[in-house]
Structure 1
Amino acid sequence: MRHQGLQFLLPYMRAWRGALLLGTFYALIGAGASAFSPTLLGWGVDALTNGVQLRVLALYSLGLVGLSLAVAIFRYLLRMLTGAIAAGVTYSMSQDLFQRLLLFDEETRQRYGTGDLLSRATSDFIYIWRFYSAGFQMSMHALFLLFIGAGLMARTSPALAGLVVVMLVISITLQLRLGRVLEDAFTRVQQEMAKISAFVQEHLNASRMLLAYAQEDAAVASFHQTNQRYVDQTLRFVLRSGAISPIPSFMVTMASTIIVLVGGMMIIGDQLTLGEYVQFIVYLGLLNNGARQITGAFERLQQGSAAAGRIGEVLHRWPKISDTAAAVDPKLTGHIRFEDVGVWSEDQQRWILRHVNLEIPPGETVGIVGPTGAGKSMLISLLGRIHDPDEGCVTMDNYDLRNVQLEALRRAVVYVPQETLLFSMP
C-alpha cells in the first residue's frame, strides 16, 4: 500500500499548529514589509521628480531602512521557529518509528532489510527536516509576498498587475502538475540509497567470509554497480528538477518584457508616473525572488513527501504478532509447557515442528540437540513469540503466551540467536 506522504505528515503538523500559526504571522509581517518597500520607493521617486524637500526625502529613506530591518527581524524569527518545528516533528516521528520497529515480528522484519531501514531512519528524516525548516519558511514568505505584491501592484495599475498575475498562475500551475514526476523520481533515488545501505551492511557482516573465499573483487564490482544505479536515478531526478526550476524565472522575464513595453507606452501617454513605473520594476525583482523561493520550497515539498511516504509505509505496517485486547502482564516464574505444538513453513511447504510436547519446570536446564534444519532454533523462538505456533500452544505459568503482553514476555525471556558467521568461519 502506498501512503501519501503529506497525509502522513498532517498528524505531526497538528501537534505544532500553534507554532505554525505563529510562523505564518511572522511570514505575513516579513512579506508585508518586503512588499511595501517598492511602493515607498515609488512614492519617493515621484516626490523627487516633483521637487521635494531634503527632509521629506530623508523620511522616505528612513522608512526603507525600517522596512528592511523589519524584514530581517521577522525572517530570522521565522527561521528559528521553523527550525524548532522541524526538530520536534522529526524527533516525534523517529520515536514512533523506533517503537514500531521494536514490535516487528520476524516475518515483518525480513520484509525490510537492515540497510533499507537504516536509510529510512537517516536520510529520509533529513529531507523531512528540510521540508519543515526551509520549505515551510520559503513557501509561506514567498506566497504572502506574491499575494501582497500583486495587490499593491493592482492599486497602481490593474492592467499591468493582471498580466503579472496571469504569468504567475501559469507558472505555479505548471509546477504543481509536474511535481508528481519529481516525487516519484525522488522516491526511486531513496530506494537506490536503501539498496546501497543494505549492501554495505550485509557485506560488512560477511567480511570474513568474503576474505576466506577471495570474493573481494566481485564485491567491489557489485558495489560499483549498485552505486551506478543510484547515480543514474539521481541524474534522472536532477534532469527533471532542472526542467521545472527555470519556469518561474522564464515567466517573470516574460512579465518584465511586457511591463517595460506597456509601462513605457503608459508613461509616454501620461497614464503612469515614473515612480509607479519604478514600483513595477522593483516588484518584478521581488516576485522573481518569490518565484525562485516557491521553486525551492516546492522541490523540498516533493522530497519531504516522498521521504514521509517511505517512513509512513513502515509505520502503517502492523506486525502479525502483537498484543491482543485481553493481553495480561503477569509475574512469570518460568514454568514452560509445549502442548502439541506444530509450526508450518510456507516457504518449504512442510511442518518444521509437529506434535511437540515438553514441560520445563523453573530452574531446570534442558539441552535440545538435532541435525541442521530439525527446528531447534524455531522451538526456542516460540518462547519469546518471535514466531507463533500454527498448532497447539506454548504456556508459561499456565498462561498462553499469546495472551501475555509482549513487553512483559520479552522482559522475562532472554533469547540469544545464533550468529551463523561465528560458527561457519574458522
Structure 2
Amino acid sequence: MKHLATLNKYFIKYKWRFLTGLICTVISIVFSVFQPIMVRQIFDLLAQNLDNYRLISDTGLKGFFRAEFSRVLAFYGISILLFALLSGFFLYLQRQTLIVMSRYIEYDLKNEIYQHYQVLDLNFFKMHRTGDLMSRITEDVSRVRMYVGPAIMYATRTVFMIVIVVYLMIEVNPLLTLYTLSPLPLLALIIYYVNRIIHRKSERIQAQLSNITSIAQESYSGIRVIKSYIQEEGSIKHFEEASEAYKESSVSLAKTDALFQPSMALMIGLSVVLTIFAGGIQVINGVITVGNLAEFVIYVNMLMFPFFSIGMVASMIQRASASQQRLNEFLQIEPQIKNPVGARNITIEGEVTFSNVSFTYPHTGIQAIKDFNLTIKPGQKIAVIGRTGSGKSTLAQLLIRMYDPQEGAVLIDGQDIRQVKLESLRTQISYVPQDVFLFSDTIANNIRFGTPEAGIEAVQTAARQASVERDILGFKEGFDTLVGERGVTLSGGQKQRISIARGLIKDPNLLVFDDCLSAVDARTEKEIIGNLYAYLKDKTAIIITHRIFALFEFDKIIVLDDGRIVETGTHEELLSLNGYYTDLYARQQSGEEEPLIE
C-alpha cells in the first residue's frame, strides 16, 4: 500500500463524499442484517405455534388463529421487503458517493500527471517514449481509479458486513460461529499468496502495454517511412511479437485471478456444511432454535459476497499499486529547468551574451558546446553557420532555456536567464525551430498558437510576412483550413512558413530562426528574406543555418565547428580568411549545394 499512499490527499480533498459513502454503507448493512433476524423470528414463531394450531384444529378458534397468524406473517413479510428496499436505497447512495468520488479523483489525477508532463524538461521527453507516457496517463490511471472507487467501496462494505454479521453470530452462539468461520485462516493464506503473484504480473503487464502503445504510436507517425521502405510486414511482425508477449502475460494473470473464485467458493461451501452440521446437532440438543440455524445459514450466505470480494478487492489493489508505482516514478521526477526562488520578470531589449558556455547533452554524453563566448548587441543580426552536429541548434536551446549549461552562463540584457522566470523569458523570444510541428487545428490557430488573443488581421499580416498568405488563400477554407495531424496536409515549405508566421506574430525584440528555410525554394526564400529584413530592422535576430544568405546583411557571422567558434566576421571579412566559410561559399556558387546568393 506504500505506493497508493500518495492518493490519500485526494481522499482528504473529497472527505465529505468519502464519509457520506461510509455512512451509507453502514446504514445499508444494518437494514440488510435485520432480515435474517426477522426470518429467525418467523421460524421460531412457526415452531412455537405449530403444536398449538394442531390442538385447536378441531375447534372454532381455528379460523381466528389462522387469520391472526397470517397477519403476523404479513407484517414480517412487509417488514423484510421494506428493510430490503431501504438497504438497496442506501446501497445506491453508497455507489453515488464513492464511485462518483473515484471519477473526480481520476479527473484530478490525469490533470496532475498532464500538468507534471508540461513542466518536465526536454531531456525527460528524449529519454521516454511517447507511447509509455500515454499508457501511464490512460491505462495506469484507469487501474488506480478502480482502487479509489470500486475497491474502496467493496472493501468498506466487506469490513463492515463481516464485523456486524460476526458480532450478531457470536451473540447467538459463539461455538457455532467458530465452526462457521474456521475455514477463514486458510482463505487468508491463499489471498496473501495469490496477491504477491498478481502484483508481480501486473507490473510486467503494464510495462508490456506501454511498449505496445509506443510501437503503435511510432508506426502511425512514421507510416510514410514504413510504406516507402516496404516494411509493412516487418512492422506487423514487430507489433505481433509485442502483442503476443502481452497476451501471454494477461492470460497468466487471468489464470491466477481465476484461482480466487473456486478457492473462496470452496471455503464458503465448507462454512455452510459446517454450519448446518454443527447447528443441527445444537438444535437437537436444544442449545439453539431452528430459527437460529436458519439465521446462521442466511448470515453465511450474506458473508459470501464479502469473502468473494476480498479476492476481487485484493486483485484491484495489487493492480492499482503496480500502476501507481509507475505513475509515482514520473510524478517524483523534479524538472531540471524550473523557476528558481526569487526569479523575476524582465523586459528584453535584445542584448545576448554567451559567457564561457560549455554544454554536454545528459542523455547522450555528447559535448555540443565548448567554452563558447559571444556577445550580441541589441538590434544586431547574427548568422550562425556550421555543418551538422557543430552545435548550432544547441545555442538556440540554451537561449530559450530548454537546457542549462554545465559551465558558464547565458545572459540577456546582462541578467543570467537562470534567474529569470521561464514565462517571462520565453514569452519575449520568438523561436522558430528546425523541426516544424503543427497541431491538428486550423491554420489560423496554428499561427496564433503563442498569442491566442491575436485577431485575424494580425494572423494575416504574419502570414504575409512569412510569404505563405497566397498559399493559404488558395485553400478552399483559407485560414480556417484544418492542417491534419502534424500538418500532414501541407507541404514541407508551407509548414515551415506557417511556423515562421507563428514566430513573427509575437512581435518580440529577440528572434531565433533555427534553419527554418531548408524546405522552401530559392525564389520563396528570397521573398521571405526580403520581408524579414524589413521586419527585423530594430530587432535582435539570430539566424542559424548551414547555408549562406548573401542577400541578408548580417552584422556578424559566426562559423561553428565542433562546438567552438572557428571564424567570425562579416561576409567580406570571412571570405578574405579563405577558410571554412570561403569553402562553403565556393561550393554553393559551383552548385554543389543549392545557390542561395546573387
TM-score (norm 2): 0.67
Q: Which residue of 1 is the match for residue 116 of structure 2?
A: 100
- Contact 2:181–2:271 (8 Å) recurs in 1: no
Aligned-partner residue type, residue 61 of structure 1: G
Q: Aligned partners of 1:333, 1:58: CA distance in 2, in Å? A: 90
Q: Aligned partners of 2:93, 2:350: CA distance in 1, in Å? A: 58
- Does the C-alpha gap of structure 1 residues 83 and 367 become closer, same or farther in structure 2, counting only changes over 3 Å? farther
- Contact 2:356–2:407 (8 Å) recurs in 1: yes
Q: Which residue of 1 is the match for residue 425 of structure 2?
A: 409
- Out of 377, 393, 416, the residue aligned to residue 377 of structure 1 is 393
Q: Aligned partners of 1:207, 1:128: CA distance in 2, in Å? A: 33
- Secondary structure at 1:368's aligned position in 2? strand
After alignment, is 252-261 or 102-111 more displaced?
A: 102-111
Q: Which residue of 2 is the match for residue 394 of structure 1?
A: 410
Q: Which residue of 2 is the match for residue 294 of structure 1?
A: 310
- Out of 232, 239, 244, the residue aligned to residue 228 of structure 1 is 244
Q: Which residue of 2 is the match for residue 322 of structure 1?
A: 338
Q: Aligned partners of 1:345, 1:115: CA distance in 2, in Å? A: 23
- Does the C-alpha gap of structure 1 residues 232 and 363 become closer, same or farther in structure 2, counting only changes over 3 Å? farther
- Secondary structure at 1:226's aligned position in 2? helix
Q: Aligned partners of 2:116, 2:234: CA distance in 1, in Å? A: 36
- Does the C-alpha gap of structure 1 residues 167 and 327 become closer, same or farther in structure 2, counting only changes over 3 Å? same
- List runs of 5+ in structure 1 lacking aligned partners: none
Could you tell me how far 1:341 is from its partner in structure 2?
1.6
- Secondary structure at 1:393's aligned position in 2? strand
Could you tell me how far 1:178 is from its partner in structure 2?
3.2
Determine if the alignment matches structure 1 residue 90 to structure 2 residue 106. yes
Q: Which residue of 2 is the match for residue 217 of structure 1?
A: 233
Q: Aligned partners of 2:260, 2:215: CA distance in 1, in Å? A: 33
Could you tell me how far 1:49 is from its partner in structure 2?
2.4
Aligned-partner residue type, residue 98 of structure 1: Y
Q: Aligned partners of 1:329, 1:246: CA distance in 2, in Å? A: 65
Task: Tell me the alpha carbon deviations over residues 304-336 of structure 1, each in whole angstroms, 9 at most, x when there is no partner.
Answer: 222222111111111222222232222334432
Aligned-partner residue type, residue 4 of structure 2: L
- Does the C-alpha gap of structure 1 residues 49 and 415 become closer, same or farther in structure 2, counting only changes over 3 Å? farther
Q: Aligned partners of 1:129, 1:389: CA distance in 2, in Å? A: 41
- Contact 2:202–2:253 (8 Å) recurs in 1: yes
After alignment, is 69-78 or 268-277 more displaced?
A: 268-277
Aligned-partner residue type, residue 43 of structure 1: Q
Q: Aligned partners of 2:22, 2:127: CA distance in 1, in Å? A: 41
Q: Which residue of 2 is the match for residue 11 of structure 1?
A: 9
Q: Which residue of 2 is the match for residue 282 of structure 1?
A: 298
Ranked by relative contact order (alpha carbons within 8 Å, sequence separation 6 or more), the top structure is 1
Aligned-partner residue type, residue 46 of structure 2: L
Q: Which residue of 1 is the match for residue 131 of structure 2?
A: 115
Q: Aligned partners of 2:132, 2:302: CA distance in 1, in Å? A: 43
- Does the C-alpha gap of structure 1 residues 172 and 412 become closer, same or farther in structure 2, counting only changes over 3 Å? farther
Determine if the alignment matches structure 1 residue 161 to structure 2 residue 159. no
Determine if the alignment matches structure 1 residue 191 to structure 2 residue 207. yes
Aligned-partner residue type, residue 83 of structure 1: I
Aligned-partner residue type, residue 401 of structure 2: R
Aligned-partner residue type, residue 284 of structure 1: V
Task: Tell me the alpha carbon deviations over residues 229-261 of structure 1, each in whole angstroms, 9 at most, x when there is no partner.
Answer: 111111121122222343322211111111121
Could you tell me how far 1:346 is from its partner in structure 2?
5.6
Q: Which residue of 2 is the match for residue 310 of structure 1?
A: 326
- Contact 2:205–2:250 (8 Å) recurs in 1: yes
Determine if the alignment matches structure 1 residue 25 to structure 2 residue 41. no
- Contact 1:142–1:294 (8 Å) recurs in 2: yes
- Contact 2:158–2:306 (8 Å) recurs in 1: yes
Task: Tell me the alpha carbon deviations over residues 186-222 of structure 1, each in whole angstroms, 9 at most, x when there is no partner.
Answer: 1211111111111111222221111111111111100
Determine if the alignment matches structure 1 residue 67 to structure 2 residue 99. no
TM-score (norm 1): 0.92
- Does the C-alpha gap of structure 1 residues 99 and 413 become closer, same or farther in structure 2, counting only changes over 3 Å? farther
Could you tell me how far 1:394 is from its partner in structure 2?
0.8
Q: Which residue of 2 is the match for residue 40 of structure 1?
A: 38
- Does the C-alpha gap of structure 1 residues 345 and 412 become closer, same or farther in structure 2, counting only changes over 3 Å? same
- Out of 258, 262, 267, the residue aligned to residue 242 of structure 1 is 258
Q: Aligned partners of 1:164, 1:288: CA distance in 2, in Å? A: 12
Determine if the alignment matches structure 1 residue 252 to structure 2 residue 268. yes
Could you tell me how far 1:348 is from its partner in structure 2?
5.9
- Does the C-alpha gap of structure 1 residues 11 and 70 become closer, same or farther in structure 2, counting only changes over 3 Å? same
- Secondary structure at 1:11's aligned position in 2? helix
- Does the C-alpha gap of structure 1 residues 110 and 359 become closer, same or farther in structure 2, counting only changes over 3 Å? same
Q: Aligned partners of 1:406, 1:199: CA distance in 2, in Å? A: 34
Q: Aligned partners of 1:331, 1:246: CA distance in 2, in Å? A: 71
Q: Aligned partners of 1:129, 1:292: CA distance in 2, in Å? A: 20
Q: Aligned partners of 1:365, 1:236: CA distance in 2, in Å? A: 64
